[in-house]
Chains A and B, each alone.
Chain A
Amino acid sequence: MIKYIFKRIIYAIPILIGVNLLTFTLFFVVNSPDEVARLHLGNKRVTQEQITSWNEERGYNNPLFYNSSESGLNSFKETIFYEKSFKLFLFDFGMSDSGRDIKYDIKERMWPSLAIALPSLLVGLFINITFALFFVFFRSTKVDYLGVIFCVALMSISSLFYIIGGQYLISKLLHLVPISGYEHGYESIKFLILPVVISVIYGIGSGTRWYRSLFLEEIEKDYVRTAKSKGLSESAVLFNHVFKNALIPILTGVVVILPLLFLGSLIVESFFGIPGLGSYTIDAIQSQDFAIVRAMVFLGTILYILGLVLTDISYTLVDPRVRLK
């Protein structure tokens, strides 16, 4: 097991480097460090000195990739790329371009993201699987047919409609919960209800259909026929046989996105004013704050790879055909 984790870490490193390189290129192909500085300082009346000092403070005063004025290894080291990227591997995210400590911000903001994403996932999972089992129980009947159409219709409605409509209906008309905003501690619950409910409703259409198709695929298999020939009832077959087998792809599908929950949903957080990691990233992109963007992308990659690793491990736990040796 240790060997496996070690191997995975080795595989992760080239990916992290590649991701970093790509982010870096995307950022600085658009604007040179001077232009970024200009943007931050306000376009109009900045002197070259101010720009240079701003760049120096943040370490943008070296060439991008290759420093010809240094020799040997230093020609690669004394560059923005190397300096900015290297520290990431030590999880030292440094300061954002607007002067805040990134690590602190991340620590603060990951909880609100999680507070929305985790309940949405769990509640959504429960509701979707229940609906899916229900429709599968009544498969090939009118109930199932209508159910599929209902799910397709739900899926075809834009997420923006759910958000805007939900905000309008619940908050403006019915005044049940505030539209947006956030407070820490127990007060946060009243701000979380609406985004969670809306995320769940938005996911019903596609989620139920997906799980339904997983269950239907299992029902076609031979061991279900054997179970029925033993005299088991339809519901016993569904729960004891089909569900257990379908759980494998469901579980692995859930596990793979678990780590990414920390990053939050960018859209939901923006609309509801939740100070989570998602809105953090979006704001950074829009304000061209490279330090935050590269930190978030790095973090995102690590979490993504972590998700892949967890998926493999969870496979060995739920599927007896796959075992660690």
Chain B
Amino acid sequence: MHLTRELIKIMNNLLKIKNLCLNIKSNSDEEILKNISFEIKKSEVVSLIGESGSGKSLTALSIIRLLEKSCKIKKGEIIFSGKNILRIEEKEMRMIRKKDISMIFQEPMRSLNPVMSIRDQLKESYMDYNSKDINQEIIKNLISVGIKDADRVINLYPHQLSGGMKQRVMIAMAIACKPKLLIADEPTTSLDVTIQKQVLDLLIELKERLNMAILFITHDLSVASQISDKIIVMKSGEIIESNPSNIFFQNPENLYSQSLLESSSYKRKLKKNINSESSDVLDVKNLKVFFKEKNSILSRNFSYIKAVDDVSFKIKPGSTHAIVGESGSGKTTIAKAIMGLSHVTSGNIKICNKNVLTMNGLEKRNFRKNYQMIFQDPFSSLNPRMRVGAIIKEGLCFLRPELDTKDVDKILYEIIKNVGLDESSLGKYPHQFSGGQRQRIAIARVLVLNPKLLICDEPTSSLDVTVQKQVLDLLMEIQDKTNISYLFISHDIKLISNISDTISVMHKGKMVESGITSDIINNTANDYTRNLLQSVPQIKK
């Protein structure tokens, strides 16, 4: 009996990784993967969860043997179809890549060859791509991944397709030879939430139809819970936990897994009531921002892109207003227009009852400290050549010239502690800090000015989930203390619904709905919003 069970287990195992250890050759010989071991059964969906730097992508690349030359596998085995594929010849491995194991990647725009047509790129995935029926094969394949006008699409080039369609093409390439294992490295991370749902549904359907196993790599637990049979959590190159899905989501064993699960939905702590009588901090009326776009570098025609088309909303002191929308909806343009970083075609923007569009000169300079902004990418929002202290005091010294050096230093010391960093940080450079710490520095930079309005443009989107929680806690704490108003811009509806008081939904430049958050989330009348809300993956228990 025991033997048969073992035999069944071995027969069911598609892929088995044993004690994989990986090093990177660099200035310091680091061990990146430490003794990674797990199994994938036939037709099983295994999700590899981890934050950035956990080693999940490297594990995937090790399986398909596409690591960079600087990575050296120190020891370990990967058994696939009875063979240790770490030891076979490259030629044999290529056959495996073609027929048995396929991979899709995160950024579909960069992962497709920009100068080859879709047909040519798909052709390469097939075994005998010179056969006469190859065109038909390709069209059938594209239809099966949900591209309905396949005969038109095969003649197009990647830049002519949308993000979702590009990812479908990638999937079509991957399943061309009906692989036994599909490795998906964060395939939906850069897609809009509605498209994400479609792609996930597609993957589930393909798994059923082709009896394919999937190794799904992601940092998003809710996405993983939609499709996985087994969850493996990685941290700093090690496997922290490995459990079937239902067991994991009911009751994660490990503390780290628990914190991951908690952080996946942020819950705001107590909040003060907003005084609805006080005057608006921000009043935007009929804002329009149109851009002229040349059709190509050679023609002389212009067409208008209506980035922001007649948008109006108000924010009260101490409250958080969120603007939610998919990419290209115009939300960042609104932020830039308010801050004066983009031109405004028409409309009114009043901050604390003063019209900032008509202000100029000294008045504007003195007024700027009342409204500030923090940006999305913590890596490019700080000048790599300036020390942290200089970065933080740049705005302060310019907008409050009456302060002398001692006062400035005092303020600096205070603010760096308020954002949760050590005093010694002031003398260091940005690259010595992590993403979350850099975002704190960016917050410190604007906080020294005591603004009444802070625009947060996707401040946590590039951060790991546990770090997101810390940054959001900081922002909420600041709001409680100083009664500052936030204009929070994001594509993450789940997050918004937990932290904002009022919300506006943007779609292609137009504001489709606006109102109190709870009303909209629970009782929306708008189709677009409803579709958006339904596409958001919730954790299935």
Contacts and interface: CB of A to CB of B under 8 A. Distances in A.
Interface of A: 1, 3-4, 7, 140, 221-223, 225-233, 236, 240-241, 244-245, 248, 312, 316, 318-325
Contacts of A240: 116, 124
A52 to B, nearest CB: 52
Nearest to A321: B159
A231 B297 contact: no
A135 to B, nearest CB: 15
B103 interface: yes
B97 interface: yes
A228 B68 CA distance: 12
Main secondary structure of the interface of A (DSSP, over half): helix
Contact of B98 (A231, A318, A322, A324): A231
A213 B83 CA distance: 38
A226 B111 contact: yes
A20 to B, nearest CB: 28
A236 B90 CA distance: 14
Given A4-B298, A312-B298, A323-B296, A231 B94 contact: yes
Given A225-B105, A316-B298, A231 B116 contact: no
16 contacts: A1-B298, A3-B300, A221-B110, A223-B113, A225-B66, A230-B102, A233-B94, A240-B116, A241-B113, A244-B115, A312-B298, A316-B296, A320-B157, A322-B296, A322-B297, A325-B301
Nearest to A241: B113
A121 B111 CA distance: 34
A325 B295 contact: yes
Main secondary structure of the interface of B (DSSP, over half): loop
Contact of A229 (B64, B113, B159, B299): B64
A240 B121 CA distance: 10
Contacts of A233: 94
Contact of B157 (A225, A321, A324): A321
A217 to B, nearest CB: 14
B297 A230 contact: no
Interface in B86-113: 94-99, 102-103, 105, 107, 110-113
B118 to A, nearest CB: 11
B111 A228 contact: no
Contact of A230 (B69, B125, B298): B125
Nearest to B95: A231
A325 B98 contact: no
A222 B110 contact: yes
Interface string B103-146: 10101001111111000000011000000000000000000000
B32 interface: no
Nearest to B300: A3
Contacts of B301: 325
A223 B103 CA distance: 12
B101 to A, nearest CB: 9
Contacts of A7: 300
A325 B110 contact: no
Contact of A245 (B96, B110, B115): B115
Contacts of B95: 231
B173 interface: yes
Nearest to A232: B124
B102 A244 contact: no
Interface string B63-81: 0101001000000000000
B138 to A, nearest CB: 14
B66 A3 contact: no
B463 interface: no
Most buried by B among A222, A312, A324: A222
Given A3-B300, A321-B157, A322-B296, A222 B115 contact: no
A320 B114 contact: yes
B111 A241 contact: no
A324 B105 contact: no
B124 A248 contact: no
B170 interface: yes
A191 B298 CA distance: 43
